[in-house]
Chains A and B, each alone.
Chain A
């Protein structure tokens, strides 16, 4: 199953990279969402997959079941999901703001700081 997910993750990354390379920044943040998902799945899969045994310690025991799932990647992914969401929300507001100010979603036309024909460029 890990191998199958690895292939699906490759497809996710490819789609994300393709979208992030677009001129339209809305497509860029779609890519951002996909690449966050891909990264989370990489961490999760890297810690190996276990079906149906969550890392919980039963009442009265000191240890989880011997075949319980790997808890560490889950904790890391949980944090990553939330941070990814923070990044996404900020990026979305930023492009919204950029559109209201600049009137475009095309990143190549957003050149207030580095105007075209700048001798330093």
Chain B
């Protein structure tokens, strides 16, 4: 990867430093809000954005959004600092920093938004910035493909989400999230609850890469490692989880919610843990453990017990800390050695001691060893799983298996590369990473250790107010403690250690087994390719047939669509079976209609130009007669004038144009005739159906009443044209002027060509 080449320069100047300062300032700002929020306050800020649609740009700071904001801005600062060295001297660093900073701001907007539409706008901004970041290495096919795949999958989910949010806003009668959450009972009982839930879950599951939409996330690792650390472990992929957490008070508690989240979460967690062990690329392995974490978080959001919620909040923080640290560590290894292959790396502990220690601490937290925060997180996960009223064994079993596999993966990613003895030749001679790249892993790993040893530091300021956003009461939060006494979760922890160590010991044969199983199983990534090429083939096919470049075919397809659309609608709705009432029509009217019909038939079938022009004239005059008979003198005058002009123009043009059919050719087109008769018939049926419905005369009555008193005109048609709808008439005149100007221009160039 060209992006990961080490460079002689140590930074990127201005473009490198400013983003770090911006995000650092944001982090400090959110830190200053902690005392207020942990005291139980909720901050709101609102601005009328589109008042006509009731859309506000409003923001909400409560426990949940503050926790997310701190994680986003804190990890963002460290990642930006890290990137400045990791991508030092990259020609496009300024662009990279812009994308990454924009992403961070979009993500902050997403977690702080208190309006459904605002939330969606920020949601899509994270999708777009993520697309740009994954495709940062756009010179490779893989980079472009991965970026597009992530964009398509999350973008499709976002469309569903938009529909869901709009439905939710309409059903709840407000687009303000804080007001919606107060109406939980109403929403759960609403008839649209299920459709809204399905649409929201589609958005959340694609964004958070839940099975079966998981395949885009490991591919997104094509992005530079700091991006993976930030977007694809700590922040963006948690947007889906955030959405579920935010909507939890309004949507949770139903069977659908419980089972959907529990099953999807559990399947994703276990499935991803196995796939994580299958990988030999350290970054890929971490990508799959992220899927496992997202699955676990989703699993806990399915529940409503205070144990499950406390477990969710704690694991959310734990995972962000250790996973970002480990990704950055892998970036350091890659940067120093030029490879991420688990089977090549080894013995780095001596040359990279600081990295090794940071990795070890983060990995111990991930594996859930005491005294790290990960241990508390794991204990709470077991307590939460056991609190599941209906299926504690299923949930606890899934969590146990996933945790044991995590322990093994932690060993593979963060232990073996540093302490294993190896003879493999490394692409580069490793040396310790510079401090800018160590700051992230060290601080994040240290945070995991400090919060583990003293969980009160986390409990009161963040965990309690966050739990309060779910359950309404901060005292509902379960206590975070290292020693909870001898209980079932402790035994499960011990079982995890034993099982995890066992898996670690046999992980190489197990991996080969998994690789074979994975190769045999249907591959979602290849399925995606097949889906895309199928879509392209379909587009190709329909373009070839629908847009053939032949005018006749375009017209044929257009009218066939009219026929099917109109006819099909009438058939489905059961209208159009109105029998025409042909009684009581004066002989004179029969004669006029016969005139029109005969003219029509001649115009359609004749091979003579003169006959055709004459027939058109007959039809035109017949129509004018209709206007005269049925009380429309102005229209009739216009019609007569226009018909005369048409006949004159066509006659003049014919002096220069050839015959309708060349010698020996005929114009016999039976299929066209079938379509034409079909369209004509369906138009007649439609008009008959229209005539069978009552006529709405409100507009006409308005014009009749106001014509004289307000517009001082006695000819109502004229008043409508020049007064009430004067702008329409102006547009009509403009059309005629433009048509005549264009006609003049066309004729003039013809004359010029002739004279040349």
Q: Residues of A at under 8 Å CB distance from B?
A: 1-28, 30, 33-34, 37-38, 40-42, 44-59, 61-64, 68-72, 74-75, 77-79, 81-90, 92-97, 99-101, 105, 107-108, 110-111, 114, 118, 121
Shortest Cβ distance from residue B52 to the other chain A in the assembled complex, whole angstroms: 29
Shortest Cβ distance from residue B691 to the other chain A in the assembled complex, whole angstroms: 5
A95 partner residues in chain B, CB cutoff 8 A:
657
Shortest Cβ distance from residue B655 to the other chain A in the assembled complex, whole angstroms: 10
Task: Answer whether residue B714 sits at the interface, using C-beta atoms and an 8 A cutoff.
Answer: yes
Q: Are A92 and B604 in contact (CB under 8 A)?
A: no
B604 partner residues in chain A, CB cutoff 8 A:
14-15, 18-19, 34
Q: Are B676 and A14 in contact (CB under 8 A)?
A: yes
Q: Which of B548, B590, B704, B732 contacts A68 (CB 8 A)?
A: B704
Give 5 CB contacts A-B under 8 Å. A41-B623, A58-B714, A59-B714, A83-B736, A90-B743
B669 partner residues in chain A, CB cutoff 8 A:
18, 21-22
A108 partner residues in chain B, CB cutoff 8 A:
550-552
Nearest 8 CB-CB pairs, A to B?
A: A14-B680, A10-B684, A3-B580, A69-B631, A15-B604, A18-B676, A114-B549, A86-B739
Shortest Cβ distance from residue A25 to the other chain B in the assembled complex, whole angstroms: 8
Given pairs A71-B704, A84-B642, A89-B740, 12 additional interface contacts (CB within 8 A) = A4-B590, A6-B580, A15-B601, A17-B679, A22-B552, A42-B683, A77-B635, A78-B634, A83-B736, A85-B645, A89-B739, A96-B747
Q: Which of A23, A92, A101 contacts B650 (CB 8 A)?
A: A92
Q: In the assembly, what is the distance between CA of A84 and CA of B735, in Å?
A: 10
Q: Which of B650, B679, B683, B732 contacts A83 (CB 8 A)?
A: B732
Q: In the assembly, what is the distance between CA of A1 and CA of B601, in Å?
A: 21
Select the residue from A50, A52, A81 with max chain B CB neighbours within 10 A. Answer: A81
Q: Are A75 and B740 in contact (CB under 8 A)?
A: no
Q: Are A12 and B589 in contact (CB under 8 A)?
A: no
B705 partner residues in chain A, CB cutoff 8 A:
63
Per-position 1/0 for B671-713, Cβ under 8 A of A: 0110111011101100110110001010110011101110000
Q: In the assembly, what is the distance between CA of A46 and CA of B694, in Å?
A: 11
Shortest Cβ distance from residue A30 to the other chain B in the assembled complex, whole angstroms: 6
Q: In the assembly, what is the distance between CA of A115 and CA of B389, in Å?
A: 71
Comparing B60-68, B163-171, B482-490, B720-728, the segment that makes contact with chain A is B720-728
Q: Are A49 and B684 in contact (CB under 8 A)?
A: no
Q: Which of B600, B629, B683 contacts A34 (CB 8 A)?
A: B600
Q: Are B708 and A62 in contact (CB under 8 A)?
A: yes
Q: In the assembly, what is the distance between CA of A48 and CA of B690, in Å?
A: 10
Q: In the assembly, what is the distance between CA of A53 and CA of B716, in Å?
A: 12
Q: Are B596 and A12 in contact (CB under 8 A)?
A: yes
Q: Are A92 and B642 in contact (CB under 8 A)?
A: no
Q: Are B629 and A22 in contact (CB under 8 A)?
A: no
